[in-house]
Structure formats: C-alpha cells, structure tokens
Amino acid sequence: MEMNGSQPRENWGSKLAFIMAAAGSAIGLGNIWAFPTNAAANGGGAFLVVYLICVVLIGAPVMLAEFAIGRATQRNPVGAFKALAPKSGWKYLGGLGVVAGVVILSFYAVIAGWTVSYIFKCLAGTFKPGVDTAAIFEQMSGDPLNAIGYLAAFMALSVYVVVGGVRQGIERWTKVLMPILLVLLVLLGIRAVTLSGAGAGLAFYLKPDFSLINGKVILSAAGQAFFSLSLGMGTMITYGSYIAKKDDLVSSTLWVSTLDTAIAILAGLIIFPTLFHAGLGLQEGGPGMVFVVLTSLLGEMPPAPLGGIIFGTGFFLLLGIAAITSSVSLLEVGVAYIVDERKISRKKAGLFLGGLAFLLGIPSALGNGAVSWLTNLPVIGTDFLSFLFEVFGQYALAIGALFISIFVGWKWGVTNAAAEVELEGNAFRFHQIWSFLIKFVCPTVLIVILLNKVWTLIFGRGLI
Ligand code: PFF
C-alpha cells in the first residue's frame, strides 16, 4: 500500500484490475453514443480516419502523461499540479478538470438515464419490426418526469459506487461485464452488416472522402478522442494515482486505448449499416440518433420477437453499466480533490458533487422536447445537452489536454516523466517518439485547431 503523507492510499488490486478500471472509465456512452453521432455529422469515413490518427498521435501520448503525473504524485489533479509545480498557476488546470468532470457528469447522467429507461422498454418487447423508433424516443425524452426521474436514479447509483471506495466500488464491476459487452456488440455488428442495404452504410463509414476533412472535422475528432479516452480533465491522473509503482504504464496505455478504440469502431459498424438499411437520414443527428437507430435493429434480431428482447435488454443493461463505470470516474476526480485537499469525507464529497451534477443536469434533461427553448437554444441553435457536450465534452477537454502536454513536455519535463515510467526496471518503449509527440506534436496540433475554431467564431469560416 502506498503512503500519501500520513494517510495510506488505496491501490488497485493488480495491474489487470487497473487496466479494467481505466478501460471502464474510457468505454462508455462516448464510444457508443457520441462516436457514431459525431462521425455522422462529420463525414463518416473522413472522421474515422482523422479520429484514428488523433488517438495514436495525441490521445495515447496524453494518456501516458496523465498516468505518469498521477502515479508520481499519488494525488488528485489539483494536488498533483501543486506537488509538481508549487506556487504556480498550474493547479488551476486541475481545477478546470474538477469543473469539467461535474458538468460532463450532469449531461452524461441524462443519456445514461435514457439507457436505463430503454432496458425496461426492451424487456416489455416495445421494439417490434416496423415500429416508429423515432416517435418512441421523442415520447420518452420529451416526458419531463421520466427524464428527471431517470437522471436522479442514475446519479444516485453513481454516487453510491463512488462512496463505496476505489477497490470495492469500481474494480468489482468492470472485470466481468466489459467482456460480455464486447461479445454482444460483435453479435449485433454481424447482424447489422448483413442487413439489406448495409453496403451503403459501410461505404459511408469506411470509404473516406478526404475532401471533407477541415478544421471542424479535426477538432471534433480530437475532442471525441479525448472524451472517449477520458483525457484532458485529470481522470487518468486520478486513476493513475492508485497504480502500483511496479506496474508498466506503457502497456496499460496501449491496452486501454486499443480496447476503447475497438469498441468505438464496432459501434460505428452497428449504427451506419442499420441507419442506411432503415432509411433513416444522417440529418436525424443529435442526442437521440443512436437510440433511434439501434432500436430499429432489434426487430431484425432472430428469433423474432425473443431475439430483439434479449439483445435489446442485454445491450442497454450493459451500456448502462459501461456508463456507470465512466460516470464514477467523472465524479471521482472532484471527490478525490475534496477528500485530499479539503479533508472532507468521501461520503459528503460524493453526495455534494452528485447533487450539484443532478441540478445542473435538469436543463439537459428538459432540453429534448419537454421545454422548447432548451430544446432549441436561442442564438446557439442546438439543444442544451448538445451545447454542454460541445463546450465541456470537447473544447474543455482539448484545452485541458493541450495544457497537460505543455506541462509534461516543458514544465515537469519528459525526463522526469520518463523516470516515473521506468520505475522498478520497467522498459520505456517508444520513449523518443513519445517525447517528440508530447513536446511538439500535441501542443502544435491542439493550438492550431483551437485557434482555427476561434477564427471561425469571429470570421464565420475557418482557415483550415
Ligand atoms: N470516456 C467516457 C466515455 O467514453 O463514455 C466519458 C468520460 C469519462 C469522459 C471520464 C471524460 C472523463 F474524464
């Protein structure tokens, strides 16, 4: 057990347990809900290619950087930056992470709440062949009591798991259930790609039209990579703070990013063929897209009607669990901060931040049909949830990742980070490449795409 001052710090039970927990944080609604929605809005195949490049060139390097910061300091993000750069402004970068965690959790729990409500709909055999899945979604998300009730239920569950502590709370869930989710996704994928008309969906998704790549696509792909890999807000710093010194950080990074990316790619292989098969338009984007598309596949799962019920219930149940392992990691950042820095109990910290995220989640819950101005925000033009997702789920994480790469590359230094990676005789594979990526490539790419966004906001069109 590691020591932090006089307080013992809990460790993950084993390296495998750590990888599963970090993968549990990474794999969630980001892969299955956000990835296809973003890909649909950004050119399909073109988005996929840029996304993969972002994962390799900036996502994985930043993940390793976060693990190293966390394990070196054994602290929450705010404490970690304070420890490595005392009396400097870097601690505010940790603070940004705490805020982003609570805001992301607020809308994340709304979507997770929908997932829970869909478990019951599937069990009841709602998704028969030919049903209007868009109308079912609108009715569910437009009912204010339903939306807020499921949000509250999901938030309560997340708080319950976080308050249970690191080992019992998080570890136990992920080990068994994530492999089952993977099997279920593969089976749904096989059915989707064999549907009539699947070819057009596959072409949209897998045949990139490179002329569609521009600054917006690159920023969305980078933001999506950070969201999906749980980077840019200190989640992996926090999780890294519980890793044993003997564990190999490089292979953990490779495992987590590969698993996460594989699940996102699979989700696309399910959604796009089904979308084209069902004749649903790409323009039906927005937060409901995946719910509408996926449920239209259920009527096609053999043997009817049992196949649809079994696959649907299993899918939404496992997705709900994947969402819990992610939402607890969103909450954990702020809880670790309050527990470490403010010396308040885990229970109080969890209840306080969970309550805050619940209140913040209400406008997102009501912005999908229940309250019209929240469904179509004045000036902004999207619903409240999509707005928060863009600002906090994508830009704040990209900004966070930018500063984390600058911090590790130029302030703390790649040599110190490498020494942490090489502790207890671990070899640092890709040392030179990683140093180059974290010092030069990550900051440059992120500065360019963020400046391009600012340019677009001011002048109406981007430079790239
Ligand atoms: N990575 C999670 C997902 O893909 O669903 C969401 C997430 C969790 C984002 C934790 C950020 C984070 F810090």
pLDDT digits (tens, 9 = 90+) for 218-249: 999 999 999 999 999 999 999 999 899 999 99
pLDDT of residue 401: 98
Q: With b meaning 16 or more CB within 10 Å and e meaning fewer, what string describes 225-256?
A: bbbbbbbbbbbbbbbbbbbbeebbbbebbbbb
Q: Omega before 303 cis (within 30°)?
A: yes
pLDDT of residue 7: 56
- Measured from the Cα of 227, ligand 1's closest atom is 9
Task: Please tell me which residue, 6 or 409, carries the higher pLDDT value.
Answer: 409
> Position of tokens 């308050």?
163
Q: Taking residues 376-386, what's their average pLDDT?
A: 94
Question: How far is Cα 335 from Cα 353, in angstroms, rounded to an integer?
Answer: 7
Q: Taking residues 422-437, what's their average pLDDT?
A: 96
Ligand 1 midpoint to CA 390 (Å):
14
pLDDT of residue 176: 74
pLDDT of residue 283: 64
What does pTM read for this prediction? 0.94
Ligand 1 first shell, C-beta below 6 A: 25-26, 28-31, 104, 227-228, 230, 233, 235, 326, 329-330
Mutate to test the pocket of ligand 1, among 104, 324, 327 (most ligand atoms within 8 A of CB): 104
pLDDT of residue 138: 94
Spatial contact of 128 and 445, defined as CB atoms under 8 Å apart: no
pLDDT of residue 181: 87
pLDDT of residue 8: 61
Question: How far is Cα 388 from Cα 375, in angstroms, rounded to an integer?
Answer: 12
Q: What percent of the chain has pLDDT over 90?
A: 83
pLDDT of residue 442: 98
Question: How far is Cα 360 from Cα 374, in angstroms, rounded to an integer?
Answer: 13
Sketch out the chain's domains with CATH numbers.
2-459 (1.20.1740.10)
Question: How far is Cα 275 from Cα 282, in angstroms, rounded to an integer?
Answer: 8
Q: Taking residues 179-186, what's their average pLDDT?
A: 90
Protein residue closest via CA to atom 12 of ligand 1: 230
Ligand 1 midpoint to CA 38 (Å):
15
Instruction: Evaluate if residue 3 carries a pLDDT over 50.
Output: no
Protein residue closest via CA to atom 11 of ligand 1: 230
pLDDT of residue 4: 44
Mutate to test the pocket of ligand 1, among 38, 228, 397 (most ligand atoms within 8 A of CB): 228
Helix (H, G, I), strand (E, B) or coil at 7: strand
Compute φ and ψ for 360, nearest 5 degrees.
-65, -25
Q: Taking residues 77-102, what's their average pLDDT?
A: 97
Question: How far is Cα 87 from Cα 408, in angstroms, rounded to an integer?
Answer: 17
